[in-house]
Amino acid sequence: MPNVRLALAQTNPIVGDIKGNMAGILAVVELAAKREADIVVFGEMSATGYPIEDLATRESFILDAELAVRNLASELKSKNLGHIAVVLGHPSMASAQDQTGWAIAHNTASVLLAGEVVGRYAKHHLPNYSVFDEYRTFVSGNDLLTFEHKGLKFSIVICEDIWQAGGPVSELGKANTDVALILNGSPFEIDKDDTRLKLVSELAKKHSCAAAYVNLVGGQDDLVFDGDSIMVDSRARMVARLKQFKTDLVCIDIESKDDLKVVDEHHLTKPNDNWQTWNALVLGLRDYVQKNGFKSVVLGLSGGIDSAICATIASDAIGPENVYGVSMPSIYSSEHSKDDALDLANRRGMNYQVQAIADLVTPFENQLALEGLSVENLQARVRGVILMALSNKDGHLTLTTGNKTELAVGYSTIYGDTVGGYNPLKDVEKTLVWELARWRNEYAKGRGEIEPIPQNSIDKAPSAELRPNQVDQDSLPPYDVLDAILDAYVNRRRSSAEIVGYGFDEAMVNKVLTLVDRSEWKRRQSAIGPKITGMAFGRDRRLPITNKYKG
């Protein structure tokens, strides 16, 4: 009987940092060698990071990636690691381009052994929906790759190949596959974990093979790869589950396709949804900050829930000592807005300063003779100028804190509260903001820590405080109703007639839908932020600005 030790390697590559990623891969193989692994499998595009977008259309990038893979094979051999089969993902030049000349590369997995690239698989199903544009950037492959190592037959497929019917994956059984190696770059979405497990289990049963599902981990712009790699045997029993939101390496001994034993410490259960969502937001922010060379963030603290939760996410991500909160009260700001902002900063020990805006706003009002909405927007924009000045001065990344609901209906001042390079709440609707705030406080309490978010920020009626006694519900429906309408319109693409049919007031539905459509130009200029749902604003939802459709 064979006994093959398979290592699942969940790494956090940086897009474009081929040298750094390859050094990381080498270090992981060395670690796996110490644990006596016979084969190590990495995630999709682990050599280059993922998604590489139009970098895939640059010849130099593809050639650099290919060279790095060949060099790794040599280096492994020279370090006496040539006996370990290493499976990793990278782009490679396709033998034929698509007709337009844009797609020149395959999305590839290579098998390295004995100093050589001994096998290659090119992804067949190219996702071209949601945030993915792979039909734009890659040429499709057609053939399953099966190779034997230490008496077991391994076959390779990549990510989308198991989400669609047909293609190489249907050959797994015919190829007498013992273990399917599935390389993935699968971003976090609430509830997606269960879908992945189901897919992998069905694949194992259907083709009677064990299956190793290896995902990437880490934030890349608006995506958060959550890891959570899994191994199932040919009877679809889960054998191992890797950490979520962390790099990880787990070895599994394979006697046969239905006799697997995990070597390393591991877990088979997962924390609850709010824990997962919170950690996705934290990892997304941390990696954006670190991978782009920032050390600190600056954001406005209004005393409201959005800025409070953003500051807490940032504190969890990079430490409160690297978070710079700025209270920017106006003549309309309530006392509690200042008190709550200070309370928030003190709870975790963030940096805090007050910059009153009255003396900055008045000269504009006078010189330009402004009144009404222009003055409301002016206040927000003066705050934006302050935050960007502090960012320029001290090198902070500016965070903008508008939640998904605000972004949907355009309840924000462009170039005002929208300024910033990253928005932690971009895909978090208002009702979920409150839920996460309550959860985070409970979580702290359960660990004997100070609750990070002032209860008053959770409890009070939301207000932009841009005029006296203003509250959000002066101009918007209650947030639970608003989020339900938005879920139907934005996430589920329902028509106004259908949404009215669900029982919502027709005038309210029409008002909300009009607000959403009219705000498209603002969303186009908005900061990126982590996708956590099946339909995030940004590349996940592409609508014209000039658009008169009502329906």
Active-site residue numbers?
44, 123, 159
Select 352 or 364, whichever has its Cβ closest to a second copy: 364
Q: By CB under 8 A, tell whether 103 contacts a second copy.
A: yes
Per rule CB under 8 A, is residue 198 in the interface with a second copy? no
Contact 416, 383 (CB under 8 A): yes
Instruction: Give 409's DSSP letter.
Output: H
How many helices and strands (H and E) does the chain possess? 16, 19
Name the minimum Å distance from CB 249 to a second copy: 23
Residues 26-55 that bind a second copy (CB under 8 A): 51-55
* Binding of residue 271 to a second copy (CB under 8 A): no
> Counting contacts by CB under 8 A, is residue 491 touching a second copy?
no
Under rule CB under 8 A, residue 493 binds a second copy: yes
Would you say 382 and 413 are in contact if contact means Cβ atoms under 8 Å apart? no
CA Rg, the chain, in Å? 25
- Name residues contacting a second copy, limited to 402-441 (CB under 8 A): 414-415, 419, 421
Would the CA dihedral through 381, 386, 389, 394 be positive or negative? negative
- Closest by CA position to 263, among listed 283, 243, 239: 239
Q: Is 487 exposed, middle or buried (0-12, 13-18, 19+ CB in 10 A)?
A: middle
Is residue 217 close enough to count as binding a second copy by CB under 8 A?
no
Name which of residues 517 to 536 contact a second copy (CB under 8 A). 521, 524-528
- Which CB, 81 or 200, lies closer to a second copy? 200
255: which 2 tokens? 């006697």
> Count of alpha carbons within 13 Å of 276, Cβ hemisphere only?
22
Q: Which of 118, 370, 500, 508 binds a second copy (CB under 8 A)?
A: 370
Among 74, 78, 195, 392, binds a second copy (CB under 8 A): 392
Taking Cα atoms as reference points, which of 154, 136, 134 lies closest to residue 144?
154
From the list 35, 93, 351, 364, which residue makes contact with a second copy (rule: CB under 8 A)?
364
Q: Are strands 238-241 and 248-256 parallel, antiparallel or unpaired?
A: unpaired
Find the part of the chain contacting a second copy (CB under 8 A) among 94-102, 115-123, 196-204, 425-433: 94-102
For residue 338, the minimal CB distance to a second copy (Å) is: 17
Letters for 434-473 (x = contact with a second copy by CB under 8 A, - = none) are: ----------------------------------------
Nearer to a second copy, 285 or 432 (CB): 285
Q: Is position 236 an interface residue for a second copy (rule: CB under 8 A)?
A: no
Side-chain half-sphere CA neighbours of 184 within 13 A: 31
Size of the residue set binding a second copy (CB under 8 A): 87
> Looking at the DSSP assignment, which residues form a beta bridge with residue 256?
259
Angle made by CA atoms 406, 530, 492, in degrees to the nearest 5: 60
Is the Cβ of residue 13 or residue 454 nearer to a second copy in the bound state?
13
Residues of this chain, 109-148, that bind a second copy according to CB under 8 A: 127-130, 133, 135-136
Q: What one-letter code names the amino acid at 494?
A: R
